[in-house]
Amino acid sequence: MEQTEVSLLEEGEPPSSNIFHVSESKWNSWKWQLSNRIVGLDKLSKYLDLNEDELNFFKFSKVVLPFSITPYYLSLVLKSESLRKAVIPSSKEFIRSYGESEDPLNEEGTSPVEGIVHRYPDRVLFLATGFCSVNCRYCTRSRVVGGGYCYDWGKGLNYIREHKEIRDVVVSGGDPLTMSDEKIGYLLSRIREIKHIEIIRIGTKVPAVMPQRITKGLCKVLKKYRPLFMSIHFTHADELTKECFEACNRLAAAGIPLGSQTVLLKGVNDSVEVMKRLMQGLLKASVRPYYLYQCDPIIGSGHFRTSVEKGLEIIQGLRGWTSGYAVPAYVIDAPGGGGKIPLLPEYLIEMGKEVRLRNFEGKEFKYCNE
């Protein structure tokens, strides 16, 4: 079995160098990071010696999802083989495996109006933007991110107003935190003024790939619209730099509960040791591990997908061996639009007058069920 790369960064350590050699004020500016993204082979090859698979992607690619990375995140990739695998394209993406599709979760089939996915009875996904600062190569929404799609917010807001059963709105994309404070504030204010909306959630990877974006100004905007929750996409403990810790703690100090979403990736984070380090590190950054996703069958993702047995093995290696708060729910987002289905190792052996149970150490116990 291929060994997963162990973290090369010490927790909380900042990037070793400002790789563009610009002023610290520019390097620490999210607008500079965004406008200086590396999007092509010429610039990338100045910083990274690409292998044959990586070079072939740029030479022959007709893949939907283009390459994009912030200078900050590239500085982490230079130290981490795990992060490199997750965001640097490879010609392996040209291989289409059984069961893969452009829209594996059938989001378009559960989209009643532009920018809205309404799969569950009381909540909707609101797609605010088709833009991300860093394009993860296993992105389930690559059909959107690849085109940088712009949504008509009016249609989505009207749909939410008209459907009073909706109490929870998840704002995602793309990455909504790549938008300006003004746009974010406008959208959140329009959602919050709808009386039957109880909570708003934001899905983002910005604290991991561009933590400079989490400014005091942004937190001031977000704080206005609580209860507001944030789900942050983390891949590996190599993302837990000093800047990332500061960004997450700033959000937490603004009263925003933080949860993590992690995709299980072959050769990147598919071991108990690596996953435990990530989950325990997240708790230290004020982030509660929430979901561990089985990789969605997006086209060209076969080299990323592990077996389901591997995911169960990781959960079994976490449950009981670390804090319960550090154990995410392992789920498959069912292909075709069936929603998230949780999976657990076999702890229940037999159900009857006595329930036979197996604990984290493999020992059996009985519980009276009368």
* Residues annotated as catalytic (active site), given as ranges: 119-120, 123, 132, 136, 139, 141, 296, 333, 340
Contact 7, 238 (CB under 8 A): yes
**Which of 59-89 are b and which e, b meaning 16 or more Cβ less than 10 Å from the residue's Cβ?**
eebebbbebbbbbbbbbbbbbbbbbbbbbbb
d(CA 257, CA 59): 43
Contact 149, 69 (CB under 8 A): no
Phi-psi region of 148 (alpha: psi -120 to 50; beta: other; left: phi over 0): left
d(CA 47, CA 74): 9
Contact 145, 135 (CB under 8 A): yes
Residue with tokens 């069936």: 338
Contact 295, 138 (CB under 8 A): yes
CB atoms within 10 A of CB 25: 8
Contact 231, 260 (CB under 8 A): yes
d(CA 355, CA 229): 37
Helical residues (DSSP H) of 193-348, grouped into ranges: 206-209, 216-223, 242-253, 272-284, 308-318
Nearest to 128 by CA among 162, 163, 169: 169
Contact 4, 268 (CB under 8 A): yes
